[in-house]
Amino acid sequence: MKHLLSIEQLSRAEIEAILDRAESFAEVGRRDIKKVPTLRGRTVVSLFYESSTRTSSSFDLAAKRLSADLVSVKAAGSSVDKGESLKDTVATLSAYDPAAIVIRHPYAGAAQMVSGWTSAAVVNAGDGKHEHPSQALLDVYTLRRRLGSLEGARIWIVGDVLHSRVARSNLIAFGRMGAEVTVCGPPTLIPRGIEELGCEVSYSLDGIGEADVVYALRMQKERMSESFVPSLREYAANFQIDTRRLNPRQLLMHPGPVNRGVELSGEAIDSPQSLITEQVAAGLVVRMAILYELLAGSEGQTPAGEGEAGKPTPIGTPA
Protein backbone atom coordinates (compact mmCIF):
# COMPACT_ATOMS: atom_id res chain seq x y z
CA MET A 1 0.00 0.00 0.00
CA LYS A 2 1.63 3.20 -1.19
CA HIS A 3 -1.28 5.58 -0.51
CA LEU A 4 -4.48 5.52 1.49
CA LEU A 5 -6.97 7.04 -0.93
CA SER A 6 -10.18 5.15 -0.18
CA ILE A 7 -11.69 2.25 1.70
CA GLU A 8 -12.79 0.92 -1.67
CA GLN A 9 -9.12 0.14 -2.46
CA LEU A 10 -8.58 -1.88 0.76
CA SER A 11 -9.09 -5.58 1.25
CA ARG A 12 -10.30 -6.97 4.55
CA ALA A 13 -6.77 -8.19 5.27
CA GLU A 14 -5.34 -4.72 4.69
CA ILE A 15 -7.94 -3.18 6.98
CA GLU A 16 -7.12 -5.72 9.67
CA ALA A 17 -3.39 -5.09 9.35
CA ILE A 18 -3.92 -1.38 10.06
CA LEU A 19 -6.20 -2.14 13.00
CA ASP A 20 -3.71 -4.62 14.48
CA ARG A 21 -1.02 -1.98 14.20
CA ALA A 22 -3.31 0.51 15.93
CA GLU A 23 -3.74 -1.91 18.84
CA SER A 24 0.01 -1.86 19.35
CA PHE A 25 0.01 1.96 19.43
CA ALA A 26 -2.74 1.95 22.06
CA GLU A 27 -0.11 0.59 24.42
CA VAL A 28 2.23 3.50 23.57
CA GLY A 29 -0.53 5.89 24.59
CA ARG A 30 -0.53 4.49 28.11
CA ARG A 31 3.17 5.23 28.64
CA ASP A 32 4.48 8.39 30.29
CA ILE A 33 6.42 9.27 27.17
CA LYS A 34 3.89 8.70 24.40
CA LYS A 35 6.35 8.94 21.56
CA VAL A 36 8.17 6.44 19.35
CA PRO A 37 11.11 7.25 17.07
CA THR A 38 9.77 5.47 13.97
CA LEU A 39 9.52 8.48 11.65
CA ARG A 40 12.39 10.52 13.06
CA GLY A 41 13.88 12.78 10.42
CA ARG A 42 10.95 12.38 8.06
CA THR A 43 8.42 14.99 7.14
CA VAL A 44 4.64 14.79 7.11
CA VAL A 45 2.67 17.56 5.41
CA SER A 46 -0.90 18.09 6.45
CA LEU A 47 -2.83 20.10 3.85
CA PHE A 48 -6.38 21.04 4.78
CA TYR A 49 -8.67 22.84 2.34
CA GLU A 50 -11.65 22.45 4.67
CA SER A 51 -12.08 23.19 8.33
CA SER A 52 -11.53 20.25 10.62
CA THR A 53 -10.88 19.79 14.31
CA ARG A 54 -10.74 16.08 14.94
CA THR A 55 -9.15 14.82 11.76
CA SER A 56 -6.47 17.48 11.43
CA SER A 57 -5.53 17.51 15.12
CA SER A 58 -5.35 13.74 15.36
CA PHE A 59 -3.27 13.38 12.19
CA ASP A 60 -0.95 16.12 13.47
CA LEU A 61 -0.60 14.47 16.85
CA ALA A 62 -0.17 11.05 15.22
CA ALA A 63 2.74 12.37 13.15
CA LYS A 64 4.33 13.94 16.24
CA ARG A 65 3.97 10.79 18.31
CA LEU A 66 5.83 8.98 15.54
CA SER A 67 8.57 11.66 15.78
CA ALA A 68 8.00 13.02 12.28
CA ASP A 69 8.55 16.68 11.40
CA LEU A 70 5.16 18.18 10.71
CA VAL A 71 4.20 20.96 8.31
CA SER A 72 0.58 21.94 8.72
CA VAL A 73 -0.99 24.02 5.94
CA LYS A 74 -4.52 25.40 6.09
CA ALA A 75 -5.96 26.75 2.87
CA ALA A 76 -7.18 29.89 4.60
CA GLY A 77 -4.24 32.26 4.99
CA SER A 78 -2.01 30.34 2.55
CA SER A 79 -1.18 30.99 -1.08
CA VAL A 80 -4.32 28.99 -1.90
CA ASP A 81 -6.10 32.23 -1.00
CA LYS A 82 -4.05 33.90 -3.70
CA GLY A 83 -5.39 31.52 -6.33
CA GLU A 84 -2.66 28.90 -6.43
CA SER A 85 -3.89 25.68 -8.00
CA LEU A 86 -3.89 22.40 -6.10
CA LYS A 87 -1.29 21.05 -8.51
CA ASP A 88 1.08 23.96 -7.90
CA THR A 89 0.56 23.84 -4.13
CA VAL A 90 1.41 20.16 -4.12
CA ALA A 91 4.49 20.77 -6.28
CA THR A 92 5.63 23.46 -3.84
CA LEU A 93 5.15 21.33 -0.76
CA SER A 94 6.71 18.31 -2.49
CA ALA A 95 9.91 20.33 -2.83
CA TYR A 96 10.39 19.74 0.91
CA ASP A 97 10.55 16.03 0.09
CA PRO A 98 7.86 14.94 2.51
CA ALA A 99 7.35 11.26 3.25
CA ALA A 100 3.59 11.76 3.39
CA ILE A 101 0.96 14.32 2.46
CA VAL A 102 -2.30 14.17 4.39
CA ILE A 103 -4.94 16.06 2.43
CA ARG A 104 -8.50 17.12 2.97
CA HIS A 105 -10.23 18.77 0.02
CA PRO A 106 -13.83 19.77 -0.76
CA TYR A 107 -13.92 17.78 -4.01
CA ALA A 108 -13.99 14.08 -4.84
CA GLY A 109 -10.83 12.56 -6.21
CA ALA A 110 -8.51 15.32 -4.97
CA ALA A 111 -6.29 12.96 -2.95
CA GLN A 112 -6.05 10.59 -5.89
CA MET A 113 -4.99 13.41 -8.22
CA VAL A 114 -2.40 14.56 -5.69
CA SER A 115 -0.95 11.04 -5.62
CA GLY A 116 -0.12 11.48 -9.30
CA TRP A 117 1.75 14.73 -8.66
CA THR A 118 4.06 13.77 -5.81
CA SER A 119 6.36 10.96 -4.80
CA ALA A 120 5.11 11.23 -1.20
CA ALA A 121 2.61 8.77 0.20
CA VAL A 122 -0.82 10.41 0.09
CA VAL A 123 -3.44 10.01 2.80
CA ASN A 124 -6.99 11.01 1.99
CA ALA A 125 -8.37 12.85 5.01
CA GLY A 126 -11.68 13.44 3.24
CA ASP A 127 -12.33 14.26 -0.45
CA GLY A 128 -15.60 16.04 -1.07
CA LYS A 129 -18.54 13.78 -0.39
CA HIS A 130 -16.62 10.77 -1.66
CA GLU A 131 -14.58 9.05 1.04
CA HIS A 132 -13.08 9.52 4.48
CA PRO A 133 -11.09 6.32 4.92
CA SER A 134 -9.33 7.13 8.20
CA GLN A 135 -12.73 7.79 9.82
CA ALA A 136 -14.03 4.42 8.64
CA LEU A 137 -10.91 2.67 9.91
CA LEU A 138 -11.21 4.25 13.35
CA ASP A 139 -14.88 3.35 13.46
CA VAL A 140 -14.16 -0.27 12.57
CA TYR A 141 -11.38 -0.26 15.17
CA THR A 142 -13.75 1.07 17.85
CA LEU A 143 -16.38 -1.53 17.01
CA ARG A 144 -13.92 -4.37 16.81
CA ARG A 145 -12.73 -3.60 20.34
CA ARG A 146 -16.32 -3.67 21.57
CA LEU A 147 -17.71 -6.56 19.57
CA GLY A 148 -14.61 -8.62 18.92
CA SER A 149 -15.71 -8.97 15.31
CA LEU A 150 -18.09 -7.18 12.95
CA GLU A 151 -19.04 -10.45 11.28
CA GLY A 152 -22.84 -10.60 11.09
CA ALA A 153 -23.33 -7.37 13.04
CA ARG A 154 -26.28 -5.28 11.89
CA ILE A 155 -25.35 -1.63 11.53
CA TRP A 156 -27.73 1.20 10.69
CA ILE A 157 -26.27 4.43 9.31
CA VAL A 158 -28.86 7.14 9.89
CA GLY A 159 -29.20 10.65 8.52
CA ASP A 160 -27.88 12.72 5.61
CA VAL A 161 -26.28 9.93 3.59
CA LEU A 162 -26.36 12.00 0.38
CA HIS A 163 -23.81 14.56 1.57
CA SER A 164 -21.74 12.24 3.76
CA ARG A 165 -18.32 10.88 2.88
CA VAL A 166 -18.35 9.14 6.26
CA ALA A 167 -21.45 7.17 5.26
CA ARG A 168 -19.84 6.03 2.00
CA SER A 169 -16.54 4.93 3.51
CA ASN A 170 -18.20 3.31 6.49
CA LEU A 171 -20.75 1.31 4.59
CA ILE A 172 -17.99 -0.12 2.43
CA ALA A 173 -15.73 -0.79 5.43
CA PHE A 174 -18.46 -2.32 7.58
CA GLY A 175 -19.55 -4.51 4.69
CA ARG A 176 -16.01 -5.64 3.99
CA MET A 177 -15.66 -6.66 7.65
CA GLY A 178 -18.75 -8.85 7.37
CA ALA A 179 -21.43 -6.56 8.81
CA GLU A 180 -24.89 -6.05 7.30
CA VAL A 181 -25.47 -2.37 6.66
CA THR A 182 -28.73 -0.44 6.35
CA VAL A 183 -28.74 3.24 5.44
CA CYS A 184 -31.69 5.21 6.74
CA GLY A 185 -32.89 8.77 6.25
CA PRO A 186 -35.44 10.90 4.41
CA PRO A 187 -35.65 9.92 0.70
CA THR A 188 -34.29 13.34 -0.29
CA LEU A 189 -31.04 12.58 1.53
CA ILE A 190 -30.50 8.99 0.32
CA PRO A 191 -28.63 8.92 -3.01
CA ARG A 192 -30.32 7.10 -5.88
CA GLY A 193 -28.56 3.79 -6.48
CA ILE A 194 -26.78 3.58 -3.10
CA GLU A 195 -28.06 0.00 -2.60
CA GLU A 196 -25.63 -1.12 -5.30
CA LEU A 197 -22.85 -0.51 -2.78
CA GLY A 198 -24.24 -3.49 -0.89
CA CYS A 199 -26.58 -2.01 1.71
CA GLU A 200 -30.27 -2.00 2.49
CA VAL A 201 -32.22 1.25 2.36
CA SER A 202 -34.89 2.33 4.84
CA TYR A 203 -36.83 5.57 4.84
CA SER A 204 -37.97 5.25 8.43
CA LEU A 205 -36.58 4.25 11.81
CA ASP A 206 -39.33 1.64 12.31
CA GLY A 207 -36.97 -1.29 11.91
CA ILE A 208 -34.11 0.16 13.96
CA GLY A 209 -34.73 -2.33 16.75
CA GLU A 210 -32.86 -4.97 14.73
CA ALA A 211 -29.64 -2.93 14.72
CA ASP A 212 -26.69 -3.87 16.88
CA VAL A 213 -25.07 -0.53 16.13
CA VAL A 214 -26.69 2.79 15.26
CA TYR A 215 -24.36 5.19 13.47
CA ALA A 216 -25.85 8.68 13.30
CA LEU A 217 -24.60 11.26 10.78
CA ARG A 218 -24.29 14.98 11.22
CA MET A 219 -27.29 16.93 9.89
CA GLN A 220 -26.05 20.15 8.38
CA LYS A 221 -28.22 23.21 8.88
CA GLU A 222 -27.81 24.44 5.31
CA ARG A 223 -29.74 21.38 4.07
CA MET A 224 -32.91 23.09 5.31
CA SER A 225 -32.46 26.12 3.09
CA GLU A 226 -31.97 23.76 0.14
CA SER A 227 -35.30 22.09 0.95
CA PHE A 228 -33.90 18.61 1.45
CA VAL A 229 -36.07 18.50 4.58
CA PRO A 230 -38.84 20.91 5.51
CA SER A 231 -37.50 21.76 8.96
CA LEU A 232 -35.07 20.56 11.60
CA ARG A 233 -38.09 19.97 13.80
CA GLU A 234 -39.64 17.54 11.35
CA TYR A 235 -36.28 15.89 10.74
CA ALA A 236 -35.71 15.37 14.45
CA ALA A 237 -39.25 14.08 14.95
CA ASN A 238 -38.66 11.36 12.37
CA PHE A 239 -34.95 10.60 12.51
CA GLN A 240 -33.46 11.76 15.80
CA ILE A 241 -31.82 8.97 17.77
CA ASP A 242 -32.91 9.31 21.39
CA THR A 243 -33.00 6.99 24.37
CA ARG A 244 -36.58 6.09 23.59
CA ARG A 245 -35.68 4.81 20.12
CA LEU A 246 -32.43 3.24 21.27
CA ASN A 247 -32.60 0.02 23.24
CA PRO A 248 -29.98 -0.69 25.90
CA ARG A 249 -28.13 -3.40 24.00
CA GLN A 250 -27.51 -1.14 20.98
CA LEU A 251 -24.27 0.78 20.52
CA LEU A 252 -24.37 4.40 19.33
CA MET A 253 -21.75 6.09 17.17
CA HIS A 254 -21.32 9.49 15.53
CA PRO A 255 -18.37 10.95 13.59
CA GLY A 256 -18.71 14.38 15.23
CA PRO A 257 -19.22 17.20 15.55
CA VAL A 258 -22.70 16.49 16.92
CA ASN A 259 -25.69 18.78 16.64
CA ARG A 260 -27.18 18.10 20.04
CA GLY A 261 -30.93 17.86 19.83
CA VAL A 262 -30.97 17.35 16.08
CA GLU A 263 -29.62 13.99 14.97
CA LEU A 264 -28.97 12.87 18.53
CA SER A 265 -30.69 13.73 21.80
CA GLY A 266 -28.51 14.89 24.67
CA GLU A 267 -29.29 11.79 26.74
CA ALA A 268 -28.31 9.51 23.89
CA ILE A 269 -24.94 11.24 23.50
CA ASP A 270 -24.21 10.93 27.20
CA SER A 271 -25.57 7.41 27.62
CA PRO A 272 -23.20 4.54 28.42
CA GLN A 273 -23.95 2.92 25.09
CA SER A 274 -22.47 5.88 23.24
CA LEU A 275 -19.01 5.21 21.77
CA ILE A 276 -18.44 8.79 20.64
CA THR A 277 -15.47 9.59 22.89
CA GLU A 278 -13.95 6.16 22.22
CA GLN A 279 -14.12 7.01 18.51
CA VAL A 280 -12.10 10.17 19.10
CA ALA A 281 -9.48 8.28 21.10
CA ALA A 282 -9.33 5.61 18.40
CA GLY A 283 -8.72 8.35 15.84
CA LEU A 284 -5.26 8.99 17.20
CA VAL A 285 -3.97 5.42 17.27
CA VAL A 286 -5.55 4.50 13.95
CA ARG A 287 -3.98 7.52 12.26
CA MET A 288 -0.61 6.60 13.79
CA ALA A 289 -1.12 3.14 12.35
CA ILE A 290 -1.98 4.55 8.90
CA LEU A 291 1.19 6.67 8.79
CA TYR A 292 3.22 3.75 10.09
CA GLU A 293 1.82 1.30 7.52
CA LEU A 294 2.45 3.69 4.65
CA LEU A 295 5.88 4.91 5.70
CA ALA A 296 7.46 2.14 7.72
CA GLY A 297 5.19 -0.85 7.34
CA SER A 298 7.37 -3.04 5.16
CA GLU A 299 10.88 -1.93 6.01
CA GLY A 300 13.65 -3.72 4.23
CA GLN A 301 11.79 -3.91 0.93
CA THR A 302 12.54 -1.91 -2.17
CA PRO A 303 12.85 1.74 -1.23
CA ALA A 304 9.92 3.79 -2.44
CA GLY A 305 11.28 6.24 -4.93
CA GLU A 306 9.97 7.80 -8.02
CA GLY A 307 7.02 5.46 -8.31
CA GLU A 308 5.03 5.79 -11.48
CA ALA A 309 1.81 7.67 -10.87
CA GLY A 310 -1.07 5.37 -10.10
CA LYS A 311 1.04 2.23 -9.74
CA PRO A 312 1.38 0.86 -6.24
CA THR A 313 5.01 0.89 -5.18
CA PRO A 314 6.42 -1.25 -2.39
CA ILE A 315 6.87 0.70 0.77
CA GLY A 316 10.28 1.16 2.18
CA THR A 317 12.51 3.88 3.50
CA PRO A 318 12.24 6.99 1.39
CA ALA A 319 15.40 9.04 1.28
Partner 1 sequence: MSLTDALDVRAGEPAHLVLRRASVLDPVAGIDSVYDVVVRDGQIATLAGPGEADTDGAEVVEAEGLHAFPAFFDPHVHLRTPGHEHKEDVETGTRAAAAGGYCGILAMANTEPPVSTAADVTALREQAQAGASVPVGFLATVTKGMRGEKLTEMVELREAGAVGFSDDGLPIVDAGVMRRALQYQRLCGGNIALHEEDPALSREGAMHEGPVSAALGIAGIPSVSESTMVARDAALAGYEGARIHVQHLSAAESVEVVRAAKAAGVQISAEASPHHLCLTDEEVRGLDPHCSKMNPPLREERDRQALIEGLRDGTVECIATDHAPHQPEEKDVPFEQAAMGVTGLETAFAALHTELVLSGTIDLALLVERLAGGAAPFDLERPTLAPGSEANVALCDLGAEWTVGEDGYESRSANSWCAGKTLTGRVLMTVAAGQVAYRLRSFSLGVAA
Q: Which of 112, 135, 170, 265 binds partner 1 (CB under 8 A)?
A: 112
Which listed range, 60-68, 81-89, 148-156, 210-218, lies at the site for partner 1 (CB under 8 A)?
81-89
Which listed range, 84-92, 213-221, 247-255, 262-270, lies at the site for partner 1 (CB under 8 A)?
84-92
- By CB under 8 A, the count of residues binding partner 1 is 25
Is 160 one of the binding residues for partner 1 (CB under 8 A)?
A: no
Residue 42 or 105 with smaller CB distance to partner 1: 105
In angstroms, the CA 241 to CA 158 distance is 9
Is 196 one of the binding residues for partner 1 (CB under 8 A)?
A: yes
Least Å distance between CB 131 and partner 1?
7
Is 176 one of the binding residues for partner 1 (CB under 8 A)?
A: no
Give the per-residue contact string, 15-54, with partner 1 (x = CB under 8 A; - = no): ----------------------------------------
Residue 36 or 117 with smaller CB distance to partner 1: 117
Q: Which of 22, 39, 110, 140 binds partner 1 (CB under 8 A)?
A: 110
Residue 42 or 165 with smaller CB distance to partner 1: 165
CA distances (Å), origin 170, targets 17, 105, 133, 140, 292? 17, 19, 8, 8, 22
Q: Which of 7, 39, 113, 262 binds partner 1 (CB under 8 A)?
A: 113
Is 3 one of the binding residues for partner 1 (CB under 8 A)?
A: no
Is 218 one of the binding residues for partner 1 (CB under 8 A)?
A: no
Least Å distance between CB 198 and partner 1?
10
Is 128 one of the binding residues for partner 1 (CB under 8 A)?
A: yes
Interface with partner 1 (CB under 8 A)? 8, 85-87, 105, 107-110, 112-113, 127-131, 164-165, 168, 191-194, 196-197
